[in-house]
C-alpha cells in the first residue's frame, strides 16, 4: 500500500471519466434492482437478516475457537490448515506449497482475500504463472488492472473496451458482441484449466462443524479450479466462519439474493477435504490458508460487525459515491461503503485518511446490507476516531451548528431567519460562481422558499382547524 491515499484527488479524476461513470452506473443499477426484486420475492428476508446477524455475532465473539475448530475438522477430513497472521505470511505459505510440488502454473477462481494479500504477485516472484479464470478477473488481468468491484470486478469496462482488449491480447476479431467474447474466453481459459498444477480459490463460507468450504460461482470456474488441478489452495479470512452445516442454506440465501438478485448462484460447491479413495476428480492435496491480517483485532473492538460482511457487494451497488466514482478511486481491494470502513481498519488511518469521508451518510448501504452492518454509523465513528488521532476539536462552524441543532427554539428561529433572507434574494440564480456560494451551489441549487406560510405554521393551523380533520 502507498503511504497515504488521496480519495479527494482520485475521485475527482474518476468523476471526469464519462465511460467509467456510465459503465459503473449501469451495472450497479441493474444489480441494485435485481437485489430489490429478489428480496421482495422472499417473504421472511428481514427475519433471515436478523438470524444471520445473530449467528455471525456468535462467531465474531469467539473467532479464534471457531477457526481452530474448523482447522481440526479440515485436518480430520484429510486437508491441511495453515494459520497466517498477515498477508506476507500467507504468501510465504502458498509459495512454499507451490515450491514443494514444483508448480509452474496455477488457475485461480476469484478471491478478494487472495487479492488482499497480493497472492498473484507473490507467486509470480516464485516463478508460478497465475491465470485468473473468473471472466471479469480475466478481463482485468489482461488489461493489467485491479478489480473495481468485489463481485463484478470489470464493472468499469464496457463491451467495446472488452472487445478491443481481447482483440489485442488474444487475437480475436474486433468488435465482438458479449456472447462471442464469452466464447473466446472459454476457449482460452479451458487450456489453462487442463494444464494447471495448482488451483487457487477463495471461500464464501467455512463451516467450523465439518471443516467444509463453500464456494459460490455462476461461471463454473470455482468447480473447475477445485476439480482438475492435483493441488488446491483455499485462501480464506478467518471471518468466513459459520458455526454449522445447517447454517449454510440461510447464509446462501442472504448472499446470492443480495449480491446478484439470484435465488441461488449457478454453482454452489461444498468441499470437505481432498479427493477420497476411488473418486475421479478433486485435488489430491487440499490446503486452506486461514488469514488473520487484522481481523482478530477487529473482533474485540467497536467495529466488530465488519467481520460479519459476506462480501456480497450490495452496499457498493447502493452507494451514490461508489456509483459516481467506481472502485479504482478508492485505491483499495475493498471499495465502496464496506471498503471505506475496512481499508482504514486493516491498513491504518494513515494509509486511507479520507475514505471515511467518501460517504454522504445517506444510509442506503445499511438498508441493503444482509448482515445489518451499521455502515453509516461506522463511517461516522471513524471520522470521530480520526479527529481524535489528529487531536482535532470540532471547528467553530460545527460547534455553532451543534448548539443550534440541540436547542429546538434556537433551531426554529435560525431556520426562520434563513427563510426570510432567502425570500428576499429571490432574484439570485440557482447556481453561482466563485467563493463559498460557488462551492455550495456546485452540486446543489440555491433553494427559493415557496410563497405563503412556512410548513410549521401551516401544520399548526391545520392541527387547530375547526373540524380537526385533514383539509
Q: Of the listed pieces 53-61, 64-72, 243-251, 433-441, which binds other proteins according to CB under 8 A?
A: 243-251
- The residue count for binding other proteins (CB under 8 A) is 67
Cα dihedral angle (369, 373, 376, 378), rounded to 10 degrees?
Answer: -150
Q: Work out whether 232 is an interface residue with other proteins (CB under 8 A).
A: no
Q: Is 22 helix (H, G, I), strand (E, B) or coil?
A: helix
270 contacts other proteins (rule: CB under 8 A): yes
Q: Is 268 among the residues that bind other proteins (CB under 8 A)?
A: yes
Stretch of residues binding other proteins (CB under 8 A), selected from 13-21, 24-32, 55-63, 301-309: 24-32
C-alpha cell at 436: 463559498
| Interaction between residue 401 and other proteins (CB under 8 A) | no
Of 120 and 212, CB closest to other proteins: 212
Residue 280, interface with other proteins (CB under 8 A)? yes
Q: How far apart are CA 214 and CA 236, in angstroms?
A: 11
Q: Are strands 198-201 and 231-237 parallel, antiparallel or unpaired?
A: parallel
Among 154, 238, 316, 346, binds other proteins (CB under 8 A): 154
Residue 23 binds to other proteins (criterion: CB under 8 A): yes
Span near other proteins by CB under 8 A; candidates 59-67, 232-240, 265-273, 437-445: 265-273
Among the listed residues 219, 310, 215, the one whose alpha carbon sits nearest the alpha carbon of residue 271: 215
Of 98, 96, 94, nearest in space to 118 by CA: 94
CA atoms within 13 Å, Cβ hemisphere of 62:
14
Beta bridge partners of 241: 206
Residues between 341 and 400 that touch other proteins (CB under 8 A)? none
Residues facing 233 on adjacent strands: 200, 287
Nearer to other proteins (CB atom), residue 168 or residue 392 = 168
CB of 237 to other proteins, least distance (A): 22
Specify the residue, 74 or 359, whose C-beta has the smaller distance to other proteins.
74
Query: Least Å distance between CB 230 and other proteins?
Result: 11
Q: Does 229 bind other proteins (CB under 8 A)?
A: no
From residue 23, how far is each of 148, 327, 436 by CA, in Å?
A: 12, 12, 33
CB of 214 to other proteins, least distance (A): 9
Residue (6 or 218) nearer to other proteins, CB: 218
Pairs from 35-38 (Cβ < 8 Å, separation ≥ 24) = 35/257, 35/258, 35/259, 35/260, 35/261, 35/314, 35/317, 35/368, 36/261, 37/261, 38/257, 38/258, 38/261, 38/262, 38/263
Closest to other proteins by CB, 278 vs 301, is 278
Identify which of 441, 453, 448, 450 has the alpha carbon closest to the alpha carbon of residue 426: 448
Binding mask 448-467 for other proteins (x = CB under 8 A): --------------------
In whole angstroms, how close is the CB of 73 to other proteins at the nearest point? Answer: 10
What are the phi and psi torsion angles at 95 (to 5°)? -65, -40
Tell me which H or E stretch contains 131. strand 129-132
Q: Is residue 89 a contact residue for other proteins (CB under 8 A)? A: no
Question: Can you give the binding site for other proteins, defined by CB under 8 A?
Answer: 23, 26-27, 30-31, 77, 133-136, 139, 152-154, 157-159, 162, 178-179, 181-183, 185-186, 189-190, 193-194, 209-210, 212, 218-221, 223-224, 226-228, 245-246, 248-249, 252, 260, 263-282
Amino acid at each position: 500500500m502507498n503511504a497515504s491515499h488521496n480519495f479527494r484527488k482520485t475521485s475527482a479524476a474518476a468523476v471526469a471519466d464519462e465511460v467509467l461513470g456510465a459503465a459503473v452506473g449501469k451495472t450497479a443499477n441493474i444489480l441494485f434492482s435485481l437485489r430489490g426484486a429478489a428480496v421482495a420475492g422472499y417473504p421472511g428476508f428481514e427475519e433471515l437478516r436478523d438470524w444471520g446477524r445473530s449467528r455471525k455475532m456468535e462467531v465474531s465473539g469467539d473467532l479464534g475457537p471457531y477457526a481452530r475448530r474448523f482447522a481440526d475438522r479440515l485436518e480430520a477430513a484429510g486437508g491441511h490448515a495453515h494459520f497466517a497472521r498477515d498477508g506476507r505470511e500467507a504468501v510465504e505459505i502458498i509459495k512454499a506449497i507451490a515450491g514443494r510440488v514444483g508448480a509452474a502454473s496455477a488457475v485461480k477462481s476469484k478471491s478478494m482475500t487472495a487479492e488482499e494479500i497480493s497472492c498473484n504477485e507473490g507467486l509470480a516472484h516464485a516463478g508460478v504463472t497465475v491465470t485468473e479464470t473468473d471472466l471479469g478477473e480475466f478481463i482485468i488481468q489482461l488489461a493489467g488492472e485491479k478489480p473495481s468491484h468485489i463481485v463484478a470486478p470489470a464493472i468499469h469496462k464496457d463491451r467495446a473496451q472488452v472487445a478491443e482488449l481481447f482483440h489485442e491480447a488474444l487475437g480475436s476479431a474486433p468488435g465482438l458482441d458479449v456472447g462471442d467474447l464469452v466464447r473466446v474466453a472459454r476457449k482460452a481459459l479451458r487450456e489453462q484449466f487442463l494444464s494447471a498444477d495448482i488451483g487457487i480459490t477463495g471461500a464464501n463460507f467455512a463451516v467450523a462443524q465439518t471443516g467444509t468450504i463453500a464456494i459460490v460461482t455462476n461461471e463454473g470456474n470455482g468447480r473447475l479450479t477445485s476439480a482438475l488441478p492435483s493441488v488446491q489452495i483455499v485462501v480464506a479470512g478467518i471471518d468466513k466462519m459459520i458455526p454449522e452445516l445447517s447454517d449454510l442454506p440461510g447464509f446462501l440465501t442472504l448472499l446470492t439474493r443480495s449480491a446478484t438478485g439470484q435465488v441461488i448462484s449457478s454453482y454452489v460447491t461444498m468441499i470437505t477435504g481432498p479427493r477420497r479413495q476411488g473418486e475421479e476428480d478433486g485435488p489430491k492435496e487440499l490446503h486452506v490458508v486461514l488469514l488473520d491480517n487484522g481481523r482478530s483485532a477487529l473482533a474485540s473492538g467497536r467495529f466488530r460487525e465488519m467481520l460479519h460482511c459476506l462480501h456480497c457487494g450490495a452496499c457498493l451497488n447502493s452507494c451514490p459515491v461508489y456509483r459516481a466514482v467506481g472502485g479504482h478511486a478508492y485505491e483499495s481491494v475493498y471499495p465502496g461503503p464496506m471498503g471505506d470502513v475496512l481499508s482504514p481498519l486493516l491498513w491504518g488511518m494513515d494509509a486511507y485518511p479520507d475514505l471515511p469521508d467518501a460517504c454522504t451518510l445517506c444510509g442506503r448501504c445499511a438498508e441493503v446490507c444482509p448482515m445489518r452492518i451499521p455502515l453509516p454509523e461506522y463511517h461516522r465513528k471513524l471520522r470521530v476516531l480520526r479527529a481524535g488521532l489528529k487531536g482535532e476539536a470540532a471547528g467553530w462552524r460545527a460547534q455553532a451548528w451543534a448548539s443550534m441543532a440541540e436547542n429546538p427554539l434556537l433551531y426554529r428561529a435560525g431556520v426562520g431567519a434563513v427563510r426570510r433572507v432567502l425570500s428576499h434574494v429571490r432574484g439570485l440564480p440557482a447556481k453561482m460562481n466563485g467563493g463559498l456560494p460557488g462551492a455550495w451551489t456546485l452540486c446543489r441549487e440555491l433553494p427559493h422558499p415557496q410563497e405563503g406560510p412556512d410548513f410549521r405554521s401551516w401544520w399548526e393551523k391545520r392541527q387547530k382547524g375547526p373540524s380537526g380533520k385533514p383539509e
